[in-house]
C-alpha cells in the first residue's frame, strides 16, 4: 500500500474561508509516515496556513525531492499542482517552473539529506538566485527513508540509535541560506505550530527566496538520548528570538500590543510581520548581526528559532533576469517563437 485516498465526505457545516473552501479541501491523501513523525505536523501546519490565507489551491505548485519529507506533498494540498523530482534536484525543477510561470505560489519541500547531502549545490544556488518560493526543509538529521544513516545536518558527536557516533561537522542550513543570499530565513520546530504557522504565512507573502528549516524528529531512527534532533533535545534547547504574527495586506491590524519589544516589518506586498522580540538585542533585518547570533548559538548547542533574517525589500530572479511577466502557457506560438529572422539577429550578435 503506497497511499490511501481520503473519503470525500464533507460535513455541510464545516467553516469555509474567503474563497469558499473548507480546511479539508487543503488536505491530501492519508499519510503513510510513522505515527508521531514530525513531518506530519509540518503538513498540518501547511494545511492551516494555506487555508487561513484564503489561497486558491490551483494557484499553488508543490515540488519535492526524495525522502519521507519529500513524500509529504502527497498528504496536503491535494488540489494543487505537484512534482516529485529526483533526489536533491527539486530546486532546479522549481526554478524552471517559476521562470515559465510566475503566477503560481511555489512551495519547495525537502529533507536534510535531500538538501544538505546530495542536493547541497542545488540548495545553495536556488537561494543565491533569489527564486520566489517558500522552501521548507524538514530536518531530522538522518536519512529516514533509507533507515537512519546520519545526514549532513547531524551534529558532530551525536549518537545514532545503535550507538555509533557522528564524527563529521554539520551543515547549518540557516547559516548557509543566509550566506547564499536568501532574503527570508527562519527556523522552527514541528512541535510548535504556534510559531510555525505564522512563519509559513509570512514566507508565502515574501516575494523572494524564503527558507524555513523545521527541526522535525524522526521517531523511528533519531529520537533517542544522544540525538540532537529528538523531541526532548529540541524542547530543552529551543531559544526563540521572537514570536510573530502575520497579517495579509487586505486585513486591518486590530489587536493591541504593548510597545516594548514589538516591531513591525512591512513586506513588499503590503502585508505586515509583527515580531514580539524575546531577545531584545536581536534585529532580524541586520544580515551580519543575524549571522553572528546564529553562529554563537550553534556553538552552544542551542536551537535558535523564529524569524532569523528578513529583507523587507527583496528582489527575485525575475527582476535579476528582466523577464516578461506573462506565463509561457499564456503565450501563443508567435510570442514563444519570434521566428528565424530574430534568431539570425541574436546569432549575429554573438559572432
Ligand X SMILES: Cc1ncc(C[n+]2csc(CCOP(=O)(O)OP(=O)(O)O)c2C)c(N)n1
Q: List residues near ligand SF4 by CB under 6 A.
A: 33-34, 37, 39, 68, 140, 144-145, 218-221
Adjacent-strand bridge partners of 209: 133
- Nearest approach in angstroms of CB 190 to ligand X is 11
75 touching ligand X, by CB under 6 A: no
Among 55, 61, 94, 142, binds ligand X (CB under 6 A): 142
Among 55, 93, 126, 145, binds ligand X (CB under 6 A): 145
With contacts defined by CB under 5 A, name the span among 105-113, 159-167, 179-187, 333-341 that binds Mg ion: 105-113
170 touching Mg ion, by CB under 5 A: no
> Residue 255 burial (CB < 10 Å; 0-12/13-18/19+)?
exposed
- Nearest approach in angstroms of CB 54 to ligand X is 30
Q: Which is nearer to ligand X, 152 or 241 (CB)?
A: 152
Q: Which is nearer to ligand X, 34 or 291 (CB)?
A: 34
Q: Give the H/E segment covering residue 243.
A: strand 242-247
92 touching Mg ion, by CB under 5 A: no
- Nearest approach in angstroms of CB 136 to ligand SF4 is 14
Q: CB-based contacts of 274: which residues, under 8 Å, 6+ apart?
A: 244, 245, 246, 247, 253, 257, 262, 263, 264, 265
- Nearest approach in angstroms of CB 325 to Mg ion is 37
- The four Cα atoms 71, 75, 76, 80 give a dihedral, to 10 degrees, of 70
87 touching ligand X, by CB under 6 A: yes
160 touching ligand X, by CB under 6 A: no
25 neighbors 79 (Cβ within 8 angstroms) = yes
The size of the interface with Mg ion (CB under 5 A), counted in residues, is 4
32 touching ligand X, by CB under 6 A: no
Q: Cβ-closest residue to ligand SF4?
A: 144
Q: Give the H/E segment covering residue 242.
A: strand 242-247
Cα gap 18→212, rounded to integer Å: 27
Give the strands of the sheet with 184-189, arranged side by side.
81-84, 60-64, 105-111, 133-139, 209-215, 184-189, 303-310, 238-240
- Nearest approach in angstroms of CB 219 to ligand SF4 is 4
Among 88, 111, 181, 208, binds Mg ion (CB under 5 A): 111
85 touching ligand X, by CB under 6 A: no
With contacts defined by CB under 5 A, name the span among 7-15, 108-116, 178-186, 325-333 that binds Mg ion: 108-116
* End-to-end CA, the chain: 57
With contacts defined by CB under 5 A, name the span among 33-41, 107-115, 300-308, 320-328 that binds Mg ion: 107-115
140 touching Mg ion, by CB under 5 A: yes
Pick one of ligand SF4, Mg ion, ligand X, none as the site partner of residue 215 (Cβ within 5 to 8 A by kind). Answer: none
Q: Which is nearer to ligand X, 33 or 204 (CB)?
A: 33
Pick one of Mg ion, ligand SF4, ligand X, none as the site partner of residue 34 (Cβ within 5 to 8 A by kind). Answer: ligand SF4
Q: Give the H/E segment covering residue 120.
A: helix 120-128
Cα gap 316→328, rounded to integer Å: 18
158 touching ligand X, by CB under 6 A: no
Cα gap 16→22, rounded to integer Å: 4
Cα gap 316→109, rounded to integer Å: 19
Query: CA 343 → CA 283, 318, 328, 348, distances in Å?
Result: 50, 22, 18, 9
Residues at the contact surface with ligand X, assessed by CB under 6 A: 66-69, 87, 111-114, 118, 138, 140, 142-146, 151
Task: Enumerate binding residues for Mg ion (CB under 5 A).
Answer: 111-113, 140
Amino acid at each position: 500500500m503506497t497511499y490511501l485516498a481520503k473519503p470525500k465526505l464533507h460535513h455541510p457545516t464545516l467553516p469555509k474561508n474567503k474563497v469558499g473552501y473548507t480546511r479539508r479541501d487543503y488536505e491530501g491523501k492519508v499519510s503513510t509516515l510513522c505515527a508521531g513523525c514530525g513531518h506530519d505536523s509540518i503538513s498540518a501546519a501547511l494545511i492551516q496556513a494555506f487555508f487561513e490565507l484564503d489561497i486558491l489551491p490551483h494557484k499553488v505548485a508543490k515540488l519535492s525531492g526524495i525522502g519521507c519529507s519529500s513524500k509529504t506533498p502527497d498528504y496536503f494540498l491535494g488540489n494543487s499542482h505537484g512534482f516529485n523530482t529526483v533526489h536533491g534536484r527539486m530546486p532546479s525543477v522549481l526554478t524552471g517552473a517559476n521562470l515559465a510561470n510566475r503566477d503560481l505560489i511555489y512551495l519547495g519541500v525537502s529533507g536534510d539529506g535531500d538538501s544538505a547531502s546530495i542536493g547541497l549545490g542545488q540548495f545553495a544556488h536556488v537561494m543565491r538566485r533569489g527564486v520566489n518560493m517558500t522552501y521548507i526543509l524538514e530536518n531530522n538529521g538522518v536519512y529516514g527513508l533509507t533507515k537512519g544513516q546520519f545526514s549532513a545536518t547531524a551534529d558532530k558527536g551525536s549518537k545514532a540509535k545503535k550507538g555509533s557516533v557522528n564524527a563529521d561537522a554539520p551543515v547549518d542550513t540557516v547559516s548557509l541560506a543566509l550566506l547564499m543570499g536568501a532574503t527570508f530565513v527562519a527556523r522552527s520546530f514541528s512541535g510548535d505550530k504556534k510559531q510555525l504557522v505564522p512563519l509559513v504565512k509570512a514566507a508565502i507573502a515574501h516575494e523572494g527566496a524564503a527558507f524555513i528549516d523545521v527541526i522535525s524528529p524522526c521517531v523511528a531512527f533519531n529520537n533517542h538520548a544522544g540525538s540532537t534532533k529528538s523531541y526532548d533535545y529540541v524542547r530543552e534547547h529551543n531559544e526563540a528570538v521572537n514570536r510573530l504574527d502575520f497579517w495579509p495586506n487586505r486585513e486591518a491590524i486590530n489587536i493591541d500590543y504593548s510597545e516594548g519589544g514589538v516591531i513591525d516589518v512591512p513586506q513588499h506586498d503590503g502585508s505586515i510581520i509583527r515580531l514580539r522580540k524575546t531577545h531584545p538585542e536581536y534585529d532580524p533585518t541586520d544580515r551580519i548581526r543575524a549571522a553572528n547570533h546564529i553562529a554563537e548559538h550553534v556553538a552552544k548547542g542551542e536551537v535558535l528559532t523564529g524569524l532569523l533574517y528578513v529583507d523587507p525589500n527583496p528582489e527575485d530572479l525575475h527582476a535579476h533576469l528582466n523577464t516578461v511577466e506573462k506565463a509561457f502557457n499564456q503565450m501563443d506560438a508567435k510570442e514563444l517563437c519570434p521566428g528565424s529572422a530574430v534568431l539570425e539577429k541574436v546569432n549575429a550578435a554573438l559572432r
